[in-house]
Amino acid sequence: MNTLSGKAATILSLLLVALIARLQFNNWAIAHHGNLSYLVDAAQGVLEGTPHWRAFQNRLLSPALVHMLGWVSSQPLLLFTQLWMLALNVGLFCMVRHLTRSHLLGLLAVVGAALMWVLEPHNSSYTWDLTEAACLLVLAFFATRPVPLAWMLALFVVAAFNRESAVFIGLYLMVCGVMMWACKQTQASRTMLWGVVLASVSVVLTEVLRKTLFTTSALRGVGDDAAHAVFENHIHIGHNVALLQDLVHQASPLLFILALYGMSLLVVIQRGLVRQDARLVGAGVSLAAYLASLGVFGVLDELRLYQPLNWCLPLLLIASLVPRAAAPGALTDTGHA
């Protein structure tokens, strides 16, 4: 009877998760009804060497997936978005359920992620943002358990062809290695080395793809995007400092969103240090660096920038607050990293 009731609870929970994903997609579809062609052009331009900006040229994976979905759907972007939202919510629920054996915590995590998504509307919603959310969620899950190095490398390959932030996977391994060295654990040097290698590969791959595939911008007046021809990424530090001052004076709700993300990551790092857990510290530090980078390369009030964090942070918070059965600090269960 207990087994049957458990299965019934799981099925009911998954139905609720699917309903949340559907409502979330409906919210997205209504918000972007008037600019769907702009979003489709943004994805298609990457495949044709005519992205909106040079910085987008290396983000090949998600536009390619949308293009392939065009073989089975007349509206591939809508199908892509709906499938990813469902996958992200179901994935988060299953991961939390696996860690805690609690349906309620899994549902609360999904509701929290969906709520933050709704609170962060923006006229741009690029395909690679959703794939990046999935990559960060998987990275967070890997931080909760020992995994073979091959899994980490597979995640890196996916992330590297989706967005340049794959560099933070390398940073994750570097921080794990430093923490393992501080705790006098084996494989510390090897883990740090792998982190350096992956971070370096991410930077080199990004530069090669941008410099060899970019032809011209699809945006009117941008042309060869000469302003970003050297480094490609946009630098907005000065603008963001002034913007942050305005947000403080206005008591903007965005400050509370940023504080929530920042405090969540501080909790993850603090709990990881207390446990001497290399993976948890690595995830917290690498995602804190990810968040900080948005203030350098992005614009702080471009709310879509924070959406990829919405699924991985609830998982990490819950993982940092529940006991862990696996040995802390061990990066893999194979000894290969």
Q: What is the DSSP letter of 138?
A: H
Task: Look at the alpha carbons of 198, 204, 206, 208 in this order and tell me if their dihedral is positive or negative.
Answer: negative
Query: What is the CB neighbour count within 10 angstroms for residue 334?
Result: 12
> Is residue 142 a contact partner of residue 151, using CB atoms and an 8 Å limit?
yes
Q: Where are the alpha helices (DSSP H) in 119-224?
A: 127-142, 149-160, 167-182, 188-213
Instruction: Tell me the C-alpha to C-alpha distance, in Å, between residue 107 and each of 119, 262, 294.
Output: 18, 23, 29
Predicted TM-score of the model (pTM): 0.93
One digit per residue, the tens of pLDDT, for the chain of length 337 reads 456 577 888 999 999 999 999 999 999 999 888 889 999 999 999 999 999 999 999 999 999 999 999 999 999 999 999 999 999 999 999 999 999 999 999 999 999 999 999 888 878 889 999 999 999 999 999 999 999 999 999 999 999 999 999 999 999 999 999 999 998 888 899 999 999 999 999 999 999 999 999 999 988 888 888 888 778 888 889 999 999 999 999 989 899 999 999 999 999 999 999 999 999 999 999 999 999 999 999 999 999 999 999 999 999 999 999 876 443 444 544 334 4
- Give the whole-angstrom CA distance, residue 72 versus residue 140: 32
pLDDT at 1: 42
Q: Which DSSP string do the residues of 53-97 spell out, in sequence order?
A: SGGGTT--HHHHHHHHHTTT-S-HHHHHHHHHHHHHHHHHHHHHH
Q: Which residue is listed with tokens 């600019």? A: 35
Extract the tokens encoding 20: 């949340």
H/E stretch holding 22: helix 2-31
3-state secondary structure string, 154-176?
HHHHHHHCCCHHHHHHHHHHHHH
